[in-house]
Structure 1
Amino acid sequence: MSNNDTNIEKRSFEAFVNAIGSEIEQAQVRLISAANAQMLFHYWKMGNYILYHQNLQGWGSKVIKKLAQAIRFNYPEKKGYSVRNLAYMCQFARSYPLTVLRSFIETDAKLITPSVRKITDEIQSLNNASFTQEPLAQIQSSDNKEVAIMQEPLAQIQNVAQTVATVCRIPIEDIEKLFLASPVARINWASHVILLNSSLPLGVDYWYMKQSVEMGWSSNVLKMQIESKLFERQINSRKVNNFTATLPAPQSDLANYLLKDPYIFDLAGAKERADERDIEEQLVKHVTRYLLEMGNGFAFVARQKHFQIGDSDFYADLILYNIKLHAYVVVELKATPFKPEYAGQLNFYINVVDDKLRGENDNKTIGLLLCKGKDEIVAQYALTGYDQPIGISDYQLSKAVPESLKSALPSIEQVEEELTMLLDNEKNRQK
């Protein structure tokens, strides 16, 4: 066998091993996801079962405390059945009856291609809908009778699934399929607890659930996004842009959906009166947190990107690429309120990126101007007449990171390592 044949065989075997390794990794992800979904379904059944017997027997809320004690005594090896967690299970079941699960699945089908208008309409529809509780989950006023939980009723927990199916008048297999097909089954229990504690309208609850799935948020990140009112900033805010006039309908809808106003950046090391360069340095230094705030599908390309045009040198503040939009995004940062001339400067950089970086498979480059405040009427007038797509948003600098969230954020070393990797990848791509 020649050396060339040996090298070919070696490369073929390496490719085979890589394919096997990829399948193993994907299988592990699927197994973890399946286990999480089954645990959630179990919690949902438990919550429904408790609610049913509270109603049927006239038991009050004290039954949860007695049930937790009984489980701890009879099944000491079983974890996750504290008074607090059992109460959350009941709230979980009450919040997502079968009618809501069906509605979530139907909404998923309608929002395959998201836009602000479609999402707003569907969320409003969920908020306004009157969902009837199945008999299983109906809670009537109770007389708070104290009932001792003995081992016999505790042993009946094994009949939870059958009770749920009987009262709902649907085979348990069909109930399980319905539950697992809904977005409710796709986030972890800690995230559900945050949503339950947030008391959001049903449609907004659904939106955060979907964002958590799509963007892979941890429960801590979900909490941070709810506290920063991401829904209001991304969906409910009045956004200033010319996307409808400059982009085709599918892309203009998506670009408008991805735009936020205001953006909130955590810049722990920024000065009180930070200028554009200081803000850029902090954003790049904390690139992971920055891209998290930018939204789904954004990748870092360059900072202070140099372009030589004629005899002059120009430097674009930040250049990103959005995978969903298949387009470069030029970001200009201003440490002052919006001025009309800023739109002209950004339009210039969009033209340059379109000419120098945009490939034949890329869509039109989009510009995003971030200012420390704006007059919306002036900003909208300033965009009239430009052929390039430009969005204008405010930004806020947040320096305080709650202790409870610090563990969810990367260390400076991790961020610097990631930024180095991103820049190395960009260099290799340009070779």
Structure 2
Amino acid sequence: MTNKDLQIIEEHESCVRSYVRSFPAVFTKARGYKIWDDEGKEYIDFFSGAGALNYGHNEPNMKKKLVEYILDDGITHSLDKATKAKTEFLEKFSDVILKPRNLDYKVMFPGPTGTNTVESALKLARKVTGRTEVISFTNGFHGMTIGSLSVTGNSMKRNGAGIPLNHTVTMPYDNFTGEDMETLDYLERFLEDNGSGVSVPAAIILETVQGEGGINAARFEWLKKVDEICKRWDIILIIDDVQAGVGRTGTFFSFEPANIKPDIVCLSKSIGGYGLPLALTLIRPELDQWKPGEHNGTFRGNNHAFITATEALSYWEDPKFEKSIQDKSDRITKFLQEMINKYPEMKAHLKGRGFMQGISSDVEGFSEKVCEHAFTNGMIMETAGGQDQVFKLFPPINIDEEGLEKGFELIEKSIKDAIKQMNLKSDTVTN
């Protein structure tokens, strides 16, 4: 980034900015898994817009459809009026995604972002059940507006609300207290004992893989038990698939391997395909009890996103695509485990699943150093977790073999650079 660019950013943009601090470059062009800055330097993007670019940058088929639509004066903004772009998306989403998975949901467009779909889900659960409380989990992240923050675990983000965040109860996520304790036994005890101070909630909300919270992947049997608890107590189960969905964990919905069918599903980020803002709230039909206009938003009819989202679903028409994600996921797992074994100085262990994996290091500051060196070496990658202890891999799910291997090479180089800079030995004392 030039001095002039830095000066403009510092002079005009709020100090709340963050990613420009981690990636201090002016980016001018992007294609697939690559992005270039104004000096022509090439970076491999293993960040993917925090999961909003699962198909990479400027995917050619989506770009072609979008440009044609714009040049043909297609509708851009429509609130929730009927448009051809919307009906084509709804039909294809039903035919390609929902029906083959035997899922029956009404589709709500709550507004364009992840926090919008979470807010609508929480509001609907309370409306339908007449209850106020919601159970969420440690290290969960669900968005930055007040309702979403109330079910988010991160204390720094919660403190930004400036007011008490009420009507929620936090329970321990799978393995939060270690493998010796079954966290759902703890949750059930609170529900069963009328002296616990925890009333039966309207909903339980969770991520099957916690993105910002540290790439924590819940066991499938744990997810099944949550589903059973919800059914037993007539609690609405909300799965926040904003980041973990749309193929990021190996299947279109992250909850598919657990063989559960949530009452409400929250989607955003990559559902638009191209990086255009779009969010869906999927609602079990009998729960769709909204009055017309009871929840709305000015930009819930983003037709440009409907165009690219519809084209993105074409990937899922071929079963080979999902198989390719799972095969490459296995390669990511194998690579990360090799790094953990090869560099014991990291004091590390594997996190996550699918294309949502990372390495958690017990050495304070190590994962941040890896990401810093990665940027210098020509790769964009970020950390996760309450202490930024995880460096995570978020490549596009359609990345080719060459791109994956290039990424692996840069990550290993960055690991070695961080070990050297921090002068780590295999017997380094951890936190």
Shared fold per TM-score greater than 0.5: no
The higher-RCO structure (CA 8 Å, 6+ apart) is 2
TM-score (norm 1): 0.23
TM-score (norm 2): 0.23
Task: Please identify the structure whose Cα radius of gyration is greater.
Answer: 1
